[in-house]
Amino acid sequence: MAKKPRNRGAGPARTAATATAGSASSPVMTGPVSAGTVSAGTAQLTAPPAEGTAPAYPGQRFGLPERGPGSVSSMPRRVTALLIDWLLSMLIAYWLTGSQFWTIAVFTVEVFMLTALTGLTVGKRVVGIRAVRMTGGPIGFRWSLLRTAILLTVVPPLLTDRDLRGLHDRAADTIVVRI
């Protein structure tokens, strides 16, 4: 059985293209700022990647920063926000009706209304994330209804793309970013 050759020549001078072609866990070496990167104060804004290259981090192809406010929210933050919203809905349902049977209805109304009006739910606000339209405008009632209906099916939100957008986000043309 023949051994695969190892590329030992890609030391600290690795380029972004070779770094992203490797495994996701391999660290990307940083060197001089690339042509698509602009430093603005303490935040670093990046341009979308060149045609035909894979983005190095979630949200890069949309011009979002890698870290900090405006960057794509991580999945643990999103799940934590969802759990907070669900627990709050359970408390409200029990307080209003004396039964937890109505939790799904309270959850649906909370997520639909708050996302349509502000892009935030209570859980999202607590963990510091927000759903925003890719066009920059408000989400609105129509897109919030579609997004919430798909969210309630549970599995499609877990099927994410490289920008961590679930099927509910792609259908409503939204993305969840850090505040």
Q: Mind listing the pLDDT tens digit for each residue in 7-55?
A: 544 444 444 444 444 444 433 334 333 444 443 344 445 566 667 677 7
Distance of CA 141 to the CA centre of its chain: 21
- Contact indicator for 168, 156 with CB cutoff of 8 Å: yes
Q: What are phi and psi of 83, to 5 degrees?
A: -65, -40
DSSP secondary structure, 100-146, as one string: GGGHHHHHHHHHHHHHHHTS--HHHHHHTEEEEETTSS--HHHHHHH
Residue 131 is predicted with a pLDDT of: 97
Residue 22 is predicted with a pLDDT of: 43
42: burial class by Cβ within 10 Å (0-12, 13-18, 19+)? exposed
For residue 2, pLDDT beyond 70:
no
Residue 137 is predicted with a pLDDT of: 86
Residue 165 is predicted with a pLDDT of: 96
For residue 178, pLDDT beyond 50:
yes
The 10s digit of each residue's pLDDT in 63-113 is 999 999 999 999 999 999 999 999 999 999 999 999 999 999 999 999 999
In the numeric block, the tokens 């549970």 are attached to 154
Residue 23 is predicted with a pLDDT of: 41
Domain coordinates of the chain in residue numbers?
A: 75-178
